[in-house]
Amino acid sequence: MTIGKKTENEKQVISTACPLDCWDACSILATVEDGVIKSLAGNPANPVTGKGLCSKGLAHMARRTHPERLRRPLVRDAAGEGFRAVTWDEALDLVADRLDQIRREGPATAVLHCAHAGSVGLLKKLEARFFSAYGGVTTSVGSLCEGAGHQAQNYDFGAAMSHEISDVVNARVVVIWGRNPAETGIHAMPFLRQAKERGAEIVVIDPRGSATSAALSAQLVTPRPGTDGALALSIAHVLIEENLVDAEFIRRHVKGYPAFKDAVKPWTPEAAEAETGVSAEVIRSLARLYGSAKPACLLVGYGVQRYTNGGETVRAIDALAAITGNIGISGGGVNYNNDRMSGYLDSEVLSGQSLRVHHRTYPRPMMADFILSANHPKIKAIFTTKANPVTQFMDTGKMLKAFESVDFKVTIDQFMTDTAQVSDVVLPCAHFLETTDVILPPAVHSYLTYCSPVVEADPWVPSEHWIFTQLAKRLGLEAFPAQSEEAWLELALKPLSEALGYSVDVLKKEPVPVHEKDSEVDNGLVAWSELTFKTPSRRIELWSNRAGMDGFDPVAVYRPVGKRPSPEEPYYLLTPHIKESLHSQHFLDLFGQALPVAYLGLSAAKGLGVADGDKIKVFNSTGQLICTAKVEADQSPELVLIHEGWWLQKGGGVNQLVAERAAGMGLHAAYYEVTCNVTKCNG
Ligand SMILES: Nc1nc2c(c(=O)[nH]1)N[C@H]1C(S)=C(S)[C@@H](COP(=O)(O)OP(=O)(O)OC[C@H]3O[C@@H](n4cnc5c(=O)[nH]c(N)nc54)[C@H](O)[C@@H]3O)O[C@H]1N2
Ligand SMILES: Nc1nc2c(c(=O)[nH]1)N[C@H]1C(S)=C(S)[C@@H](COP(=O)(O)OP(=O)(O)OC[C@H]3O[C@@H](n4cnc5c(=O)[nH]c(N)nc54)[C@H](O)[C@@H]3O)O[C@H]1N2
Ligand code: SF4
Ligand SMILES: [Mo]
């Protein structure tokens, strides 16, 4: 077997990586025989993901050859009803002419570029350079995903940095807070099991019993949705009251402790019980557990911050690790996201920011509202890449109206998604197994993987690199020259290559760790081990002037969420991620046209006269969704749960129930700050 070499009559094993927006960023070895992919497997050169892929990773083979893959450019026919297949020349001429016309009428910000996380390949970011070279368009700021917590960690530490997940085995206590790795990042699970086998106490904090709490037989703490800030401040209250803090660490490395102490004073366990629903006794014992067993590890997920107070919640959680000195030590940390690549990328190459003549931004969670109300200029075109805003962004009903209100919509995708269906031009693009790219290290490990093409693409289904190069040629964009994918990657990765000596040729061979080689300080395993933070004070800032200047409280505070159950809408509605699909991507093949499943607590179901399998209507002031009921014995009666990702055209679409609502910190989508009502459908 020869890795990466294509020799005749020989099995080829080619190194690539999963481009899905997942915690794990698995390095993959693809085995090819006679131009046919025989298997995909974890690449052992990556110690975290080497043992195997999840079902979504294995499904890449079937998705590549899926009968519903888009294989021709499509243009809406004159009557506006269906699509007709056209040649690439016709499609590209049409798009380029329209973009040119809009730019001549000016300003180019009448074009809105809607991009998201359908593929996290580095080269995919080049589309931003195309739009900058075009003149600068309207793009988003803020986040649908992890931005609130990220902003919080920027205030506290100066960046978000995680330990490699393998380090969790050194923890004596692990608190998994609003994160569900058993379904959303499975490669953490063997390490968590090992931590448990080595005697670590494992606690899961989640309003529902999750697959993670079940798989680890963890202690489960179930706060009401959106109240974790109060829980964290109350844990801090007990830690301080019972002198379970690390005074020396605070003295040396923490700024703003006196102000933080004042902030937690009101949060007695009794006060927090009333707010969170977690008993004062559980809060006390959790604080004692976390505060008396060092090292203690916090694994913080994105579920905890999908609220209007999400950033403040993560700041309160960060503070727990800071005041107990659980930062910079093996087995500790507040593991959230990872800014490991900052400094190793030339982001200007990919974004072309300096090329923009005009630029306008909108808050990503409010995209539909923005499109419907934008003036000077109005939106004349939406160009969607790697995203399915109709299904995935907030408020599907409003998003459909927004799309309808715009003259010209172009979508690049691999399938006829809900967004492609309401577009005027749909351009197919190659699958990652057919293209060159680079997958950056995620939160749980430090490995960067170069993706070599595993098989040749159908010549009718080109890479986005080709599509944008062709459009740039038609529009005469000199700042987007026709050069190879490899040449672009070399430019973008120049800082990495200069700092760590990884040329593209080195990267092509196998996944490489992004950290100082042989360094005792940065060995890639323990975040902040040098204890020099990237904040202005170089300390952990429980008091952050930068937060104050941005209009937030300088110190972590708790403010209740705006949406609470009411007589009209008596349930919280949570819409977390499902194991079998990466957002909307695999729902193409899941469950056929079956109704989406809504999980209800047993006593709520009894009260509604609903049994397993009944058809129910879940509704609120934003919209409604017909679902099949599934009754869960252990679920809180206050909670209704429906997985996100289900396609509208297949009878799903949970974002029909989710209004556009953004948190200040990180301009973040408050997806879980939603209430609803339920009725049983008759007949
Ligand atoms: N209610 C609710 N909604 C949510 C969430 C939630 O928890 N609840 N979670 C939110 C979060 S965290 C996220 S990250 C977003 C995700 O939102 P999106 O990123 O919009 O979600 P995906 O379903 O992954 O859609 C991406 C699209 O990219 C396409 N695609 C895949 N590969 C490529 C490629 O190489 N090129 C191009 N052009 N297209 C490609 C896929 O076919 C798919 O249609 O959803 C958010 N929406
Ligand atoms: N299989 C699969 N894997 C995925 C994805 C996917 O769609 N499918 N998406 C990927 C992406 S883009 C992302 S962002 C990550 C997200 O990864 P995670 O953060 O693990 O997933 P979420 O589903 O957002 O939420 C995690 C947990 O938070 C809980 N939660 C909700 N509200 C609260 C609260 O108020 N307090 C607390 N303590 N917990 C709460 C939910 O019940 C859920 O169990 O997963 C990635 N991995
Ligand atoms: S979806 Fe995540 S766990 Fe699955 S193969 Fe891709 S990166 Fe790995
Ligand atoms: Mo996400």
The answer to whether the beta carbons of residues 138 and 112 sit under 8 Å apart is yes
Return the residue whose CA atom lies nearest to atom 45 of ligand 2.
184
Supply the pLDDT for residue 374.
Answer: 98
Q: Which of 324, 296, 299 is nearest to 165 (CA)?
A: 299
For residue 148, what are the contacts with CB-CB under 8 A and spacing of at least 6?
A: 305, 306, 310, 311, 314, 663, 665, 666, 668
- Find out whether 80 and 55 touch, Cβ atoms under 8 Å: no
- Quick one: fold of 571-680? Barwin-like endoglucanases (2.40.40)
Nearest CA to ligand 1 atom 4: 392
Q: Does ligand 1 come within 6 angstroms of the Cβ of 576? A: yes
pLDDT along the chain (683 residues), means of 10: 54 96 98 95 97 97 97 91 95 98 96 98 98 98 98 98 97 98 98 98 98 98 98 98 98 98 98 98 98 97 98 98 98 97 95 97 98 97 98 98 98 98 98 97 97 94 98 98 97 96 94 82 86 97 98 97 96 98 95 93 97 98 98 96 97 97 97 98 83
Q: Identify which ligand lies nearest to the alpha carbon of 337.
A: 2
Q: For residue 401, is it left (φ>0), alpha (ψ between -120 and 50) or beta?
A: alpha
| Domain topology for 11-64 | N-terminal domain of TfIIb (2.20.25)
pLDDT at 60: 97
Q: What is the DSSP letter of 146?
A: S
| Residue minimizing CA distance to atom 13 of ligand 2 | 22
Query: Which atom of ligand 2 lies nearest, measured to the CA of 54?
Result: 1
Question: What pLDDT shows up at residue 5?
Answer: 53
- How far apart, in whole angstroms, are the C-alpha atoms of residue 163 and residue 191? 12
Ligand nearest to the CA of 644: 1
Which residue owns the Cα nearest ligand 1 atom 44? 388
pLDDT for 518 equals 66
> If you measure from the C-alpha of residue 118 to the centroid of ligand 1, how many angstroms do you get, rounded to a whole number?
5
Residue for token pair 């019980």: 273
Closest C-alpha to ligand 2, atom 25: 303
Instruction: Among 180, 558, 658, 674, say which to mutate for ligand 2: greatest number of ligand atoms within 8 Å of CB.
Output: 180
In CATH, what number does 74-144+353-435+460-484 get? 3.40.50.740
**Ligand 3: which residue has its CA nearest to atom 5?**
57
Look at residue 1 in the predicted model and tell me its pLDDT.
42
Q: How far is the CA of 358 from the centre of ligand 3 (A)?
A: 38
Write the Ramachandran bin of 421: left for phi over 0, alpha for psi from -120 to 50, otherwise beta. alpha
For residues 618 and 99, what is the distance between their CA atoms, to the nearest angstrom? Answer: 41
- For ligand 1, say whether the CB of 387 is within 6 Å of any of its atoms: yes
What's the CA angle centered on 307, arms 268 and 258, to 5 degrees?
A: 40
Tokens representing 155 are 């205030």
Q: What is the dihedral of CA 471, 474, 475, 476, to 10 degrees?
A: 120
Q: Is the pTM of this model over 0.85?
A: yes
Q: What are the domain boundaries of the chain?
A: 11-64, 74-144+353-435+460-484, 163-336+531-549, 571-680
Asked whether 325 lines ligand 2 (CB < 6 A), one says no
Ligand closest to Cα of 580 equals: 2
Q: Pairing relation of β-strands 639-642 and 571-574? A: parallel
Pocket flag, ligand 2, residue 226 (CB < 6 Å): yes
CA angle 299, 303, 304 (to 5 degrees): 70
Q: What are phi and psi of 98, to 5 degrees?
A: -65, -45
> Could you tell me if the CB of 414 is within 6 A of ligand 1?
yes
Architecture per CATH, 163-336+531-549: 3-Layer(aba) Sandwich (3.40)
The token pair at 494 is: 């120049």
* Maximum C-alpha span of the chain: 73
Cis peptide before 295 (omega within 30 of 0): yes
Let me know if 297 is exposed, middle or buried by CB neighbors in 10 A (0-12, 13-18, 19+): buried
Output the CA angle 468-388-18, nearest 5 degrees: 70
CB contact at 8 A, 314 and 305: yes
Is there an atom of ligand 1 within 6 Å of 646 CB?
A: no
